[in-house]
Chains A and B, each alone.
Chain A
Amino acid sequence: MSFEHRDDTGDRFGMWLFLYTEVILFSGLFILYAIALTTYPQEYITASNKLNIWFGAANTVVLLTSSLTIALAITAIQRNQIRLCISLCVATIGLAFVFLINKYFEWSHEISLGIYPASETLRDMGPGVTSFFNLYYFTAGLHGLHVLIGATLITVVAVMVAKGKVTSDRYVLLENSALYWHLVDLVWIFLFPLYYLII
């Protein structure tokens, strides 16, 4: 008699616990931001105005849409629409790369203006603007790393769906990867207004 050890609810709860620790990680950076904002309110406005709202807004739409596609992928696998599920995973991965390419152009532009950690331009602008951009590069960079990890996870799961290892009966791996992806979206939901929209 074989007994399969399986606890999907437990697996999902484990993922949620991990995501709470991720929130605590990012909230440390947001607290630093809040302290610096109360210390240098004027400099933060100056610095924020140097960021391009439209790059940020475009990336917000891209991430929200990718969250939609991965959420739809779960309904697809639950309804045993395997091809649709794979297509939605591929769409999510595609949007992740659109996000990163957008970020590449945005950062290239800023670096060409001399705005990067420890640059002379930033030193001349004083400690307030410098702290804004240091936090901006670190938080957005850590977020970008999460985008890359999330896209990798979804790629692996999409292959497993194609091979029939993740099925409409057993799809907790897809659910957990989707949860991770939504966390990436959640972080950006706060990062975007705080860094791009301060006036």
Chain B
Amino acid sequence: MSEEKHEPVPYQTFILIWVALIILTGITVGVAQFDLGAVNVWVALSVASLKSALVLFVFMHLRQESLLFKIGLLAMLVILVIFIGLTFTDVLYREVLL
């Protein structure tokens, strides 16, 4: 692999992302004060996914890495979906759970 140095990410970028993460945390906590049924879990998971994307791409410098790193992440996510999906095709169709 070639040795290409990353350009330093400006301090300001990181601070802005941190502000966004704090605001998103506020949104999750705020939404959780109201009982919206199943919507609560989906809002919580969507906001958590968005926060993860910010951490992965900016804080963890994934944005600056080569395609290989991104394919790696994608492969891991596909494995995770198979892992979760197959588990639930079993669990959801059982007569008696656990």
Contacts and interface: CB of A to CB of B under 8 A. Distances in A.
The contact size tier of chain B is 35 or more
Nearest to A78: B8
Interface in B20-51: 21-22, 25, 28-29, 32-35, 40-41, 44-45, 47-48, 51
A53 interface: yes
Interface in A68-86: 68, 71-72, 74-75, 78-79
Contact of B21 (A10, A64, A199): A64
A89 to B, nearest CB: 15
Given A16-B69, A24-B79, A60-B25, A65 B18 contact: yes
A24 B80 contact: yes
Contact of A68 (B1, B18, B45): B18
Contacts of B14: 68, 71-72, 75
Majority secondary structure, B binding face: helix
Contacts of A13: 1, 68-69, 72
Given A12-B65, A179-B60, A197-B29, A185 B55 contact: yes
Given A31-B84, A74-B9, A198-B40, 4 more contacts: A31-B87, A53-B29, A68-B59, A78-B6
Interface of B: 1-4, 6, 8-11, 14-15, 17-18, 21-22, 25, 28-29, 32-35, 40-41, 44-45, 47-48, 51-52, 55-56, 58-61, 65-66, 68-69, 72-73, 75-76, 79-80, 83-84, 87-88, 91-92, 97-98
